[in-house]
Homo-oligomer: A and B are copies of this chain.
Amino acid sequence: MITSDFSQHISRQFNTDLEHVLQRALAMGSLIEQQLNSAVSALLEGDTQLAKRVVLSNRLVNQIEVILNEECARILAMRAPAASDLRLVLAIIKASTDLERMGDECEKIGRIASRLTTQERPVDKYRQLKQLGENVQSMVNETLDAFARLDSSAAIKAARRDHLVEQEYEAIQRQSITLMMEDPRTIRQFLDVMWVARAFERIGDHSKNLCEHVVFLVQGTDIRDQLIEDIDPAIPIEQLGNTHPS
C-alpha cells in the first residue's frame, strides 16, 4: 500500500539504509511486545524473577531509541529523502519515542509486579487486570503487525481497540475505589492495581499513537487532530482528509 517502492531508488545504499531503520524499528517493537508479555506474566503468575528481568531490560530499549534516532538523523543529513521516504524516517523517529515510553510503562508494571508478589493474592487473581492486559497485548500486536505491513486500514482498526481499553481501565479504577472503601487495609494493594491499570492504559495510548504514525506514513495524512473513533469506518481511507487549519 505504501507509495514508496524501495526498489526504485537509484542509490542502493539509500535503499539499504531505509530498510535498515525500518527493520530496527520493527525489532524494537518486537522487543516491547516481549517486555509487555513478560510484564503481564510476571504480574499474573507472581513471578518475581521475570518482573526483575523486565525492569532491567528496559535499559536496552532506551539505548535502541538513541541509536535509531541517530541513524534517522544520519539518513536525513546524508540522503535528504523526500516524499514517502521522508515520511518513513519521520514516522520512525516518532514511533521510537512511543515505543520507548511503552517500555517505561512495562518497567513500571514490572516494578509493581515485584511488590505485589510479596502480598497475599486476591481470590480472583487480578481477573480484571488480566483482561485489560490481554486486550492491550492484542492491541499492541495488531498495531505492530500493521506497522510491519505498512497497512493503514489495519492501523485504524487497531487504534479503535483503544476505546475498549479505556472502558476496562475506568471499570478497574471504579472497582478498586469501592474495594478500598469497603476495607481500608487493602488501600495500598488496590493503589498498585490502579497504577498497573494506568500503565496498561498508557501503553494503549502509545499504541494508538503508533497507529497514527502508520497512517501518516502510508497516507501522508496527520490524523491526530481527528479522533480515530470519529472516523466513519465506511469512509474509504483514501478520503481521510486533513481537518486542521493550515
In the complex, the chain B residue whose C-beta lies closest to that of A65 is B224
A225-B62 contact, Cβ under 8 Å, with A77-B86, A244-B67:
yes
B246 touches A70 (CB 8 A): yes
Residue in B66, B86, B181 whose CB lies within 8 Å of A224: B66
Whole-angstrom CA separation of A210 from B168 in the bound complex: 33
A63 touches B177 (CB 8 A): no
Q: Within A175-224, which residues are at the interface with B (CB < 8 Å)?
A: 177, 180-181, 184, 187-188, 191, 222, 224
Chain B positions within 8 Å of A180 at CB level: 180, 184, 187
A28: shortest Cβ distance to chain B, in Å?
Answer: 14
* Number of identical protomers: 2
Q: Does A1 contact B (CB under 8 A)?
A: no
Chain B positions within 8 Å of A128 at CB level: none
A227: shortest Cβ distance to chain B, in Å?
Answer: 11
Main secondary structure of the interface of A (DSSP, over half): helix
Which range contains the number of A residues in contact with the other chain?
Answer: 20 to 34
Chain B positions within 8 Å of A10 at CB level: none
Chain B positions within 8 Å of A67 at CB level: 244-246
A24: shortest Cβ distance to chain B, in Å?
Answer: 13
Q: Which 7 A-B pairs have the closest CB atoms?
A: A80-B80, A184-B184, A66-B244, A63-B244, A66-B222, A66-B225, A77-B82
Known: A63-B245, A93-B94, A180-B187. 5 other contacts (CB 8 A): A66-B224, A69-B222, A76-B80, A97-B97, A180-B184
